Amino acid sequence: MMKQFNTSDGVTLRYALDDFTDPWKTPPTVILLHAVMGDHQRAYRWIPILSRHFRVVRPDMRGHGRSDVPDAGNLTLGRLVRDVMELADHVQCSAFHIAGASVGGIIALQTALNYPERVTTLACFATPPGLKRHTNIDHDTWIARIRSAGLRAFLESTIDERFPAGTDPGFVKWFLDEASRTNVEFLFRFIPMMREVDQSGRLHEITQPTLAVVPGADPHIALEQYEALRQIPRCEFVVYEGLQHNIVDAVPERCAGALLKFINTHEKRTST
């Protein structure tokens, strides 16, 4: 059953919380942020791997999944970061690990920049430092195609750009069913807003240990565009060769295992 809370600007956000750690321990918290047109369910195959070790919080970002669609004035990168922080306060978490996929990773990056005292480690999967200079996507063309053909038809036409050949057809249908439920008018506000984000000039300010996992065959973002993340002083940069953009869905166990190992390594270093 999903939980919910109200943000300071009156939007109801829903989230899942999974904790299968030993009940006599106080586990670290990991907040997982999904990609655009996603929701908390996209990390379902991560949960068995992570929730035995951490308290895992998976919100539906505003405008996504079961969370409310905000008014036009209540959609900025800063507001999305505040949603994360208000959720952390709501679940009584003073410090946390944060990981995000694609645009969710951009929000995670900004959270680490804005609240360095609260973020213990940062992990980004298929995430460039903003979309203003670090993507090859023509978002105006994407929006025009969605307006013309509809969101599901657009997603079907770009599925080979997202997943490798041989991906389970059942998963692909589920992905299309879920993603195509996204409120299209909200999407037309969300994409241009994120297109104006450029974090590359501030990457050197990120002090947290950072894991950057990127796909080696992304048709949307070139490897050299991802490599801007190497400017983060304590960045562990990993390339998954031969994979398209949606690595968190294509190889979820591999991604979750990498995150588990990364966090555990730095948890041990902190405690020694």
Q: Quick check: pTM over 0.75?
A: yes
d(CA 255, CA 263): 12
Backbone angle region of 56, left / alpha / beta, with phi > 0 → left and psi within -120 to 50 → alpha: beta
d(CA 129, CA 155): 24
**Cβ atoms < 10 Å from Cβ of 140:** 11
Q: How many domains does the chain divide into?
A: 1
d(CA 209, CA 128): 17
Residue pair 59/67 in contact (Cβ under 8 Å)? The answer is yes
Q: What is the pLDDT of residues 128-171, one digit of tens each?
A: 999 998 988 888 999 999 999 999 999 999 999 999 989 999 99
d(CA 73, CA 75): 6
Q: What is the pLDDT of residue 1?
A: 79
Q: What is the pLDDT of residue 136?
A: 87
Which phi and psi (to 5°) does residue 33 adopt? -110, 125
**Cβ atoms < 10 Å from Cβ of 221:** 20
Sheet holding 29-33, edge to edge: 3-6, 12-18, 55-59, 29-33, 96-101, 119-125, 210-215, 235-240
Residue of 196, 46, 210 whose CA lies nearest to 124: 210
Low-confidence ranges of the chain (pLDDT < 50): 271-272
Q: What is the pLDDT of residue 271?
A: 46
Q: Which range marks the domain in which residue 42 is found?
A: 3-271
| CATH number of the domain within which 72 lies | 3.40.50.1820
Q: What is the pLDDT of residue 272?
A: 40
